[in-house]
């Protein structure tokens, strides 16, 4: 029914003379989903989830689709004169013969990918709000890049294994701790990056994982832990001495160490701590439930044969000739001149001693953990009275502004070459690990445009599977390998604890 101007006037007159007790009051609803109120929903949904992939984003990609094959293969000349032949020549005679050094390399392609689905009802419900299929696909691609590919590029371990963890050694700490007074033993297990991300003190180490795939098949995947060590020496806590320092020889390629402690043997030694360095100061009894005799620790489950090797695994692999040094829980040393002694030692080793076998390398970047970023900046700036206190002064809207908080060091100067090394933070690098990466080789005839690259047999692609239910199932995949032409250009400073 249409209301005429006369009808509206009559309504106004009636309301003006009506008994107030007979009028119903309409007020703003107390919640957004009750009463006579519009629901103000901003479209589309906001994706407030981090997808970190700094290495993937910065490493060049190259397609090898036209080449086929199951792996990338290349040969490298690693020396032009292995015998350091004398070059002086006698009259009428020819010079000596040089012998070149050559190394064969290979890197097998591996598939990566994840799957998701969207039901018909979910699509109906999202109409007018968001293209839910496009959203799900975009999120899945980002997840593959950041949660699958990025950790593999950093610390994937596919061609070799960590082996049996070395035997830990315990030392009693005088006058500290709250452990039970008793004879205490320790077992240790080294962890890959994947193993570290899968492990907790409460939940234990993974051993092998049986994964149910989207097609109903299953795969058994090694979870990322090495084989448990032999038992340590016995350390007896007593009186006021109720703390123990446990150490184990560094395992190149490991990202963390799991410590099992207890009184009598493997069955009573439970998971007590997981540390990112090969040293653990125990002040309390273990509270974990996984014991050192758990079957998940009885074999080496560190190698994932479905994965490719990442940067740290390439560097740590036997015969790589990359620089590796473990500080075994010691602090980095400030030289009081804007430098870190251990970093300078690494840079000197990568450049060489001036002999014909020197590599003359200078890394372009060093990747560190978020936990170490501020500490390392403080270490570099330590002891220089000319740069403290740190304030950042500027002008904003005509007013002088001062920002506190100190300074963050973004690069490091190679004292040998004068090159600037970018300091980069990575969310998956564990505390105590410094990874030096060389992006360009100083060799004019190298034939290598990119020292490290992602070689793809098949770039990212989406598969929409045939409909068998009222659910759209799809997957995002890639087939690739991390190809590093010259492993000696990598350097790892491991197990440091910057204070």
Q: Which residue has the higher pLDDT, 183 or 404?
A: 183
* pLDDT value for 127: 94
Long-range interactions of 56-61: CB distance < 8 A, separation 24+:
56/145, 56/146, 56/149, 56/150, 56/153, 56/454, 59/153, 59/450, 59/452, 59/453, 59/454, 59/482, 60/450, 60/453, 60/454, 61/453, 61/454, 61/455, 61/456, 61/459
Q: Is residue 163 part of a domain?
A: no
Q: Is residue 293 part of a domain?
A: yes
Residue-wise pLDDT tens digits, 96-147: 888 877 788 889 999 999 999 999 999 999 999 999 999 999 999 999 999 9
Question: Which residue range forms the structural domain that includes residue 251?
Answer: 169-297
Residue-wise pLDDT tens digits, 264-288: 999 999 999 999 999 999 999 999 9
The 3-state DSSP class for residue 412 equals strand
Q: What letter does residue 281 receive in the DSSP assignment?
A: E
CA distance 351 to 345: 10
Phi, psi angle pair for 463, to nearest 5°: -115, 125
Alpha carbon 252 to its chain centroid, in Å, reads 16
* pLDDT value for 32: 86
| Confidence tier at 499 by pLDDT (50, 70, 90) | low
Q: Is residue 486 part of a domain?
A: no
> Would you say 225 and 163 are in contact if contact means Cβ atoms under 8 Å apart?
no
Q: How many CB atoms lie within 10 A of CB 109?
A: 18
CA distance 369 to 460: 28
> Would you say 423 and 54 are in contact if contact means Cβ atoms under 8 Å apart?
no
* pLDDT value for 353: 80
> Would you say 202 and 211 are in contact if contact means Cβ atoms under 8 Å apart?
no
Residue-wise pLDDT tens digits, 363-395: 999 999 998 998 898 888 875 545 545 555 566
Q: Is residue 125 part of a domain?
A: no
The 3-state DSSP class for residue 206 equals coil
The 3-state DSSP class for residue 493 equals strand
* pLDDT value for 101: 77
Residue 473 has pLDDT above 60, yes or no: yes
Residue (of 443, 456, 457) closest to 486 by Cα position: 443
| Confidence tier at 344 by pLDDT (50, 70, 90) | very high
Structural domain count of the chain: 1
| Confidence tier at 244 by pLDDT (50, 70, 90) | very high
Residue-wise pLDDT tens digits, 137-167: 999 999 999 999 999 999 999 999 999 999 9
* pLDDT value for 36: 84
Q: Is residue 415 part of a domain?
A: no
Q: Is 259 left (phi over 0), alpha (psi -120 to 50) or beta?
A: beta
* pLDDT value for 40: 86
| Confidence tier at 4 by pLDDT (50, 70, 90) | confident
| Confidence tier at 401 by pLDDT (50, 70, 90) | low
Mean pLDDT, range 346-357, rounded to an integer: 85
Mean pLDDT, range 73-82, rounded to an integer: 76
- Tokens 């995947």 -> residue: 221
CA distance 37 to 417: 69
Q: Is residue 14 part of a domain?
A: no
Q: Is residue 350 part of a domain?
A: no
Residue-wise pLDDT tens digits, 219-242: 999 999 999 999 999 999 999 899
Strand partners, 189: 258
Q: Is residue 229 part of a domain?
A: yes
């Amino acid at each position: 029914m249409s209301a005429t101007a006369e009808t509206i006037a009559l309504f106004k007159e009636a309301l003006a003379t009506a008994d107030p007790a007979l009028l119903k009051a309409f007020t703003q609803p107390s919640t957004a989903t009750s009463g006579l109120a519009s629901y103000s929903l901003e479209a589309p949904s906001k994706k407030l989830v981090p997808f970190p992939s700094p290495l993937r984003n910065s490493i060049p990609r190259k397609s090898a689709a036209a080449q086929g094959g199951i792996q990338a293969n290349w040969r490298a000349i690693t020396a032009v004169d292995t015998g350091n032949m004398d070059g002086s020549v006698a009259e009428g005679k020819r010079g000596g013969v040089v012998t070149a050094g050559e190394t064969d390399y290979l890197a097998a392609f591996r598939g990566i990918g994840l799957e998701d689905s969207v039901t018909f009802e979910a699509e109906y419900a999202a109409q007018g709000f968001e293209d839910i299929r496009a959203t799900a696909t975009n999120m899945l691609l980002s997840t593959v890049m950041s949660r699958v590919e990025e950790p593999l590029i950093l610390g994937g371990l596919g061609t070799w294994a960590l082996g049996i963890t070395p035997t830990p050694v315990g030392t009693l700490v005088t006058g500290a701790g709250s452990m039970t007074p008793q004879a205490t033993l320790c077992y240790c297990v080294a962890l890959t990056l994947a193993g570290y991300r899968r492990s907790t003190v409460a939940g234990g180490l993974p051993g092998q994982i049986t994964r149910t795939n989207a097609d109903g098949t299953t795969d058994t995947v090694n979870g990322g832990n090495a084989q448990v060590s032999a038992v340590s020496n016995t350390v007896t806590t007593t009186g006021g001495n109720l703390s123990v320092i446990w150490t184990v020889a560094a395992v190149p390629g490991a990202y963390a160490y799991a410590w099992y402690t207890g009184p009598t043997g493997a069955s009573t030694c439970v998971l007590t701590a997981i540390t990112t360095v090969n040293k653990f100061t125990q002040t309390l009894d273990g509270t974990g439930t996984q014991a050192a005799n758990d079957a998940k620790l009885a074999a080496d489950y560190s190698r994932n044969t479905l994965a490719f090797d990442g940067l740290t695994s390439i560097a740590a692999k036997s015969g790589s000739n990359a620089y590796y040094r473990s500080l075994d829980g010691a602090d980095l040393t400030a030289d009081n001149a804007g430098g870190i002694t251990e970093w300078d030692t690494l840079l000197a080793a990568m450049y060489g001693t001036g002999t014909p076998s020197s590599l003359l390398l200078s890394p372009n970047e060093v990747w560190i953990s978020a936990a170490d970023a501020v500490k390392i900046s403080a270490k570099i700036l330590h002891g220089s009275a000319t740069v403290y206190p740190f304030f950042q002064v500027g002008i904003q809207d005509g007013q002088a502004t001062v920002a506190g908080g100190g300074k963050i060091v973004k690069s490091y100067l190679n004292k040998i070459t004068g090159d600037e090394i970018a300091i980069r933070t990575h969310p998956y690098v564990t505390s105590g690990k410094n990874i030096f990466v060389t992006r360009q080789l100083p060799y004019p005839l190298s034939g290598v445009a990119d020292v490290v690259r992602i070689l793809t047999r098949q770039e990212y692609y989406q598969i929409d599977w045939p409909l068998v239910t009222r659910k759209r199932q799809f997957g995002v995949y890639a087939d690739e390998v991390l190809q590093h032409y010259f492993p000696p250009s990598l350097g790892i400073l491991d197990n440091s604890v910057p204070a």
